[in-house]
Amino acid sequence: MCTTCGCGVGQTHINGKPVQTRHRAAQSVRFRAPESHDTHRATETMHFGNGIAGTHAPGMSQARMVKIERDILAANNRWAEQNRRYFSAHGIFALNLVSSPGSGKTTLLVNTIERMRDQFPIAVIEGDQQTDRDAARIRATGVAALQINTGKGCHLDALMIGRALQQLAVPDNGLLFIENVGNLVCPSGFDLGEEHKVEIQSETEVEDKPLKNPDMFHSADLMLLNKCDVLPHLNFDTDLAIGYAHRVHPGLPVIRLSATQGDGMQAWCDWLAANCRRVAANANSMETGF
Amino acid sequence: MHELSLAESLLQVIEDAAREQQFSRVKTVWLEIGQLACVEQESLRFFFDAVKADSIARQARLEIVAIAGQARCENCNRNCGIETYHAACPYCGQYALSVTQGEEMRIKELEVE
Ligand SMILES: Nc1nc2c(ncn2[C@@H]2O[C@H](COP(=O)(O)OP(=O)(O)O)[C@@H](O)[C@H]2O)c(=O)[nH]1
Ligand SMILES: [Mg+2]
Ligand SMILES: [Zn+2]
Ligand SMILES: [Zn+2]
Ligand SMILES: [Zn+2]
């Protein structure tokens, strides 16, 4: 179990079907080929008994130091880069939506889809520990959605997204929303290949969340302050909340909005549209060489 | 941070290196973990012990070197040490620090045979 959020090893499912992930703590594997797209490497067999180390005289130590200099999350980062290349080649503007549970991510997506669907093709990847309820809410709008269930796992990783991209046809020059598992801790460390992480905080939460859970606010590129419609009924101090977020992440852009009432949605949709056009134009110029 | 995922990922890097560099047993793993990185060391040790069983790292010891947090102030341009992301600049008092060190989660080297 993870000490920060209590997660454990979980069987990952995509649209209800089990998928292979790296979780394998319970299995006994002497040597495991790395999971990557380099299939020629994955089929390679290693015979440790036959190498230099295998032939040395017993009792003679062959200890040596090997320089590694690699990020612990190197495997995830490799997959993330692969996803990122895919997005940029296809002109897809991909966002990773992160927040605590209940801040309004799915509600925001449904409302955003209704406003943007005539301008840009949209697809959604939903991440939750259990159920496909959120994917069903997205599909009810007519937009394609793929549900990843992480079981006891508490975040999406880049390999899951890579697998999802094989199943979900994300239209070229479109908008891809990835709704991460509701969790303010783990998802901050796992690059999915998205262009930006967008952090959603609602005005029904406490102002000092950025100080208590700084990692997500530090790694996000945009913060949405949702549920501004209920502000009159609360003692929430919006300036204080934004001030705390800016302590952790100086200059973090903030948009205040209400996913249910529509206030502020125009600013968010304008930001999305501008980015979509830029990413699509880049992909086009890559293709034509200009 | 999800320490189980980190431990699995760590083992994967070690196994990749074993194939590239031809070794069959790992005695010590040297990590550098930044103090701002969201990693619980005790939890990482616990999970590494769990995932390394039956692998070439089953007898490996984890040596963790902590890397102190450092930042540069965008307001007064000075460098300072920081322990949290929400720290103010100790010289000018502004919240304008950009982190220059302390977020690492690196595998530095391995003692192998
Ligand atoms: N008043 C108000 N409620 C909202 C708003 N956005 C979401 N909600 C409510 O917050 C609850 C959680 O929303 P949901 O989208 O499922 O959150 P998620 O867990 O982040 O996906 C639901 O009851 C929503 O109706 C909003 O802008 N204003
Ligand atoms: Mg949701
Ligand atoms: Zn996690
Ligand atoms: Zn966790
Ligand atoms: Zn300063």
Distance from Cα A191 to the centre of ligand 1, integer Å = 25
The 10s digit of each residue's pLDDT in A114-124 is 999 999 999 99
Q: What is the predicted ipTM?
A: 0.89
A72 Cβ neighbours under 8 A, 6+ residues apart = B6, B9, B10, B13, B31, B105, B106, B107
Which residue in the block uniquely carries the two structure tokens 């995830």? A76
- Please tell me whether residue B46 adopts helix, strand or coil conformation: helix
d(CA A192, CA A177): 12
Distance from Cα A181 to the centre of ligand 2, integer Å = 8
pLDDT at A290: 60
Please tell me which residue, A25 or B11, carries the higher pLDDT value.
B11
As given in the structure block, the two tokens for residue A103 are: 């801040």
Mutate which: B6, B15, B24, vs A, most A CBs within 10 A: B24
Please tell me which residue, A231 or A53, carries the higher pLDDT value.
A231
> Strand pairing partners for B34?
B67
Residue A239 lies in a domain: no
- Please tell me whether residue A67 adopts helix, strand or coil conformation: strand
- Ligand 1: which residues within 6 Å by Cβ? A 99, 101-107, 182, 226-227, 229-230, 258-260
Residue A111 lies in a domain: yes
Q: What is the mean pLDDT of chain B?
A: 94
pLDDT at A165 over 90: yes
- If pLDDT is split at 50, 70 and 90, which confidence band does A14 have? confident
A41-45, A114-118, A149-153, A218-222: least confident range: A41-45
A76 near B CB under 8 A: yes
pLDDT at A7: 61
Domain residue spans of chain B: 3-112
Nearest chain A residue to B41, by CA: A3
pLDDT at A22 over 80: no
The 10s digit of each residue's pLDDT in B73-102 is 999 999 999 999 999 999 999 999 999 999
pLDDT at A29: 31
Read off the pTM: 0.87
pLDDT at B11 over 50: yes
State the nearest Cα–Cα gap between B94 and chain A, in angstroms: 9
**Domain count along chain A:** 1
pLDDT at B1: 56
User: In 3D, which of A223, A184, A177 has the Cα closest to residue A203?
Assistant: A223
Which residues in chain B are closer than 8 Å to A48, comparing Cβ atoms?
18, 24, 56
A179-196 average pLDDT score: 94
d(CA B105, CA B111): 18
Do A31 and B16 make contact, defined as CB atoms within 8 angstroms? no
CATH of the domain at A176: 3.40.50.300
d(CA B37, CA A57): 43
User: In chain A, which ranges are E strands?
Assistant: 13-14, 17-18, 64-71, 93-98, 122-128, 144-149, 175-179, 196-202, 222-226, 254-256
Mutate which: A66, A98, A219, vs B, most B CBs within 10 A: A66
Residue A27 lies in a domain: no
As given in the structure block, the two tokens for residue B23 are: 């070794």
A32 near B CB under 8 A: yes
Least distant ligand from the CA of A8: 4
Question: For residue A154, what are the domain limits?
Answer: 74-199+264-288
- Residues 144 to 173 of A: which have CB under 8 A from any B CB? 153-155, 157
B60-75 average pLDDT score: 96
Residue A271 lies in a domain: yes
pLDDT at A6 over 70: no
State the nearest Cα–Cα gap between A3 and chain B, in angstroms: 7
Helix (H) or strand (E) holding A76: helix A74-89
Q: Percent of chain A beyond pLDDT 90? A: 72
User: Do residues A47 and A30 lie in contact, with contact meaning Cβ atoms separated by under 8 Å?
Assistant: no
pLDDT at A230 over 90: yes
pLDDT at A172: 96
Q: Percent of chain B beyond pLDDT 90? A: 90
Which residue in the block uniquely carries the two structure tokens 């010590």? B28
pLDDT at A222 over 50: yes
As given in the structure block, the two tokens for residue A271 are: 């930001």
Distance from Cα A229 to the centre of ligand 2, integer Å = 19
The terminus-to-terminus CA distance of chain A in angstroms comes to 51
A104 near B CB under 8 A: no
Nearest chain A residue to B33, by CA: A72
Q: Which residues of A116-140 are buried (b: 16+ CB within 10 A; e: fewer)?
A: beeebbbbbbbbbbeebebbebbbe
Least distant ligand from the CA of B9: 3
Say which CATH topology domain B3-112 has: hypothetical protein PF0899 fold (3.30.2320)
Q: Tell me the CA distances in angstroms from A269 to A200, A215, B38, one per residue in order.
A: 15, 26, 32
Do A25 and B50 make contact, defined as CB atoms within 8 angstroms? yes
Residue A116 lies in a domain: yes
Ligand 1: nearest atom to the Cα of A100: 20
B57 Cβ neighbours under 8 A, 6+ residues apart = B11, B14, B26, B29
The 10s digit of each residue's pLDDT in A66-96 is 999 999 999 999 999 999 999 999 999 999 9
pLDDT at A2 over 80: no
Q: Tell me the CA distances in angstroms from A224 to A204, A261, A270, one per residue in order.
A: 13, 15, 14
